[in-house]
Chain A
Amino acid sequence: MTSLDETGPSTPLKRPIRWHILIFLFPALLVYTAVMILPLFQTLWLSLFNVVDDQTVFVGLGNFKTLFGDQRWAADFWNALKNNFIFFVIHMLVQNPIGIALAAMLSIPKLRLAAFYRTAIFLPTLLSFVIVGFIWKLILSPIWGVAPWMLGLVGAKSLFAPWLGLPHSALITVSLISVWQYVGIPMMLIYAALLNIPEEVIEAAECDGVTGWSQFWKIKLPLILPAIGIISILTFVGNFNAFDLVYTVQGALAGPDGSTDILGTLLYRTFFGFQLQLGDRSMGATIATVMFLIILAGVSLYLFIIQRRIRRYQF
């Protein structure tokens, strides 16, 4: 690829090689290629090999066959994939609608305290997963009793359960913690999109008697669809690559009983090893490859199908 830049401009005028272009591009290209692109492809390549009798041999798609079909691996893998999918669905159904609703309210003109609300709601996004994970672990802990006490205030104390410890509610709880942390991002992006709608469009709508809710649904929502597309794909990539929160709240084993195991934690355990399980580089690379393909599929779907169908309005 670099050989292309050494050639001169497309103009017929004969000019010397423009070294400065190469010098401007070189550092970024070097770091980016060496630390990101090459390892990525090397990982994909590694997934085709495995260690047999202390020898690294080419096994083709054998690792994938093991991952999808072997009793020991398949159960863990399909469980993690299913959980990851639920994790994503909860984000799409809870995080993004709340983010849009908050942004819609914040963008009301001349709203008092808007700057304060915006600043406060965005704060959790800046905290690390470790802080967020531990804070919620403490709050939801039956030992401290803050959560049951608060439920008691609304007369629902009996509803309290150690949600993080129960297999059927742990995944939902972890997802909601993640939603709590990240709602600021869709809020901000949608807020920005709403601010970019020109005054004239809104005024024209008001002249036609379209106000309030119907204005939001009929005028503003279609105009911010591209931004909603972007937050959806950001959520998708972020979720299928998530690891930190589950690791902090539930540990590398993603308990109870693997009920919060997602692809990121499975990759960590497989590749790096945990407790009695030894690290397995080939299977780690295989899981990373599957994650890569999932993310690639999602991004391509967005770029080539969804983004082209969304109608963009030029003002």
Chain B
Amino acid sequence: MSKARTSHLRSASVHLALGAYTLIALFPVFLTIVNSFKNRNAIFRAPLQLPGPESFSLIGYQTVLKQGDFIGYFSNSLTVTCVSIFFVLLFGAMAAFALSEYRFKGNTLMGLYLSLGIMIPIRLGTVAILQGMVATGLVNTLTALILVYTAQGLPLAVFILSEFMRTVSDDLKNAGRIDGLSEYAIFFRLVLPLVRPAMATVAVFTMIPIWNDLWFPLILAPAEATKTVTLGSQVFIGQFVTDWNAVLSALSLAIFPVLVLYMIFSRQLIRGITSGAVK
């Protein structure tokens, strides 16, 4: 009897602690979104109240959509992120297949060489990267960002994918070989479909840092036409520091896509992280 009571007490205190931390994690986001729908007076007088009939206002959103090219920034970010992920997955999977499937001289060395980039951040090469981009005329193009992000994503992708490809059965691949499939067909038609869950994990791991990066857009592509959402909102909000409606609306606009994507993919993402992809 007393044991049951202590376990109740314990689970209550666990819920209290987790609930409190959840509140800390969500409160700032909640506060921003709620206040972006209110008029100026209400923002200051009652920041915690939900927007009511008399405090509701979309003035901030109107300012933001009129003045900033958010749709342009958004499509830049989307292009850069999607194209980079595509190349990371394709090139990463190809290299991972070569490393896990074939035995050749220098295999281990190649694996080590490719995994150097997991620990050493690409940012440290910025000085020479900018120099190279200037020399090839790629400054202020989305191509520059795509190249950098592809290089940045490859090491982890090769590492995770080759771990997974080792688990694909050899019998299956050999059966394919006997049936006269080329090595390329074995890779594209047999192996790739089997490692799709691992590809999803890699895609998520690759996406987050690319979408949120400020450093490379700021240095390699700061022009208006190539600004990403992250850089765009940074510059935009900087101009409107005193217009609280506009700032809160701009922030909410930047949060929405992430929030929606997270709600759709959170299960997949969390399963990816906890499934032992990072060992």
Q: CA A192 – CA B25 in complex, angstroms? A: 20
By the criterion CB–CB under 8 Å, are B120 and A296 in contact?
Answer: yes
Least CB separation from A38: chain B residue: B128
Chain A proximity mask over B109-126: 1 for CB below 8 Å, otherwise 0 = 110011011011111111
Number of A-B contacts (CB under 8 A): 265
Taking CB atoms, residues of chain B closer than 8 Å to A116 are 22
By the criterion CB–CB under 8 Å, are A5 and B92 in contact?
Answer: no
Shortest CB–CB separation between residue B180 and chain A, in angstroms? 15
B169: Cβ under 8 A from any A Cβ: no
Taking CB atoms, residues of chain B closer than 8 Å to A46 are 127-128
Least CB separation from B278: chain A residue: A189
- Please choose the segment from B56-64, B148-156, B171-179 that sits at the chain A interface, where 4 or more of its residues have CB less than 8 A away: B148-156
By the criterion CB–CB under 8 Å, are B128 and A42 in contact?
Answer: yes
Chain A proximity mask over B176-198: 1 for CB below 8 Å, otherwise 0 = 00000011100100000000000
Chain B proximity mask over A13-39: 1 for CB below 8 Å, otherwise 0 = 000001011011101110110111111
Q: Name, among A7, A23, A37, the residue most crowded by chain B CB atoms within 10 Å (CB to CB).
A: A37
B168: Cβ under 8 A from any A Cβ: no
By the criterion CB–CB under 8 Å, are B94 and A24 in contact?
Answer: yes
By the criterion CB–CB under 8 Å, are B24 and A21 in contact?
Answer: no
Shortest CB–CB separation between residue B248 and chain A, in angstroms? 7
A59: Cβ under 8 A from any B Cβ: no
Q: Please give the number of chain A residues whose Cβ is less than 8 angstroms from any Cβ of chain B in the complex.
A: 94
Q: CA A212 – CA B106 in complex, angstroms? A: 50
* Choice from A29, A31, A129 contacting B214 with Cβ under 8 Å: A129
Chain A, range 142-192, C-beta contacts under 8 Å to B = 144-146, 149, 180, 183, 188-189, 191-192
Least CB separation from B23: chain A residue: A120
A254: Cβ under 8 A from any B Cβ: no
Q: CA A272 – CA B274 in complex, angstroms? A: 39
B208: Cβ under 8 A from any A Cβ: yes
Shortest CB–CB separation between residue B177 and chain A, in angstroms? 12
19 A-B Cβ contacts within 8 A?
A: A18-B102, A24-B97, A31-B91, A35-B129, A38-B128, A39-B132, A40-B120, A43-B128, A111-B11, A111-B14, A121-B18, A126-B212, A128-B254, A130-B212, A138-B248, A145-B47, A180-B24, A192-B275, A295-B120
Nearest 9 pairs of A and B residues by beta carbon: A4-B106, A39-B125, A39-B128, A42-B128, A28-B95, A24-B98, A128-B212, A35-B151, A40-B125
Interface set of A (CB-CB < 8 Å, partner B): 1, 4-5, 7-10, 18, 20-21, 23-25, 27-29, 31-32, 34-40, 42-43, 46, 98, 101-102, 105-106, 108, 111-113, 116-131, 134-136, 138-139, 144-146, 149, 180, 183, 188-189, 191-192, 195-196, 212, 230, 233, 237, 241, 243-244, 247-248, 264, 267-268, 271-272, 281, 284-285, 288-289, 291-292, 295-296, 299
Interface set of B (CB-CB < 8 Å, partner A): 10-11, 14-15, 17-19, 21-22, 24-26, 28-29, 31-32, 43-44, 47-48, 87, 90-92, 94-95, 97-99, 102-106, 109-110, 113-114, 116-117, 119-129, 131-132, 147-148, 150-152, 154-155, 158, 182-184, 187, 208, 211-215, 219, 229-230, 233-234, 237, 244, 247-248, 251, 254-255, 258-259, 262, 266, 270, 273-276, 278
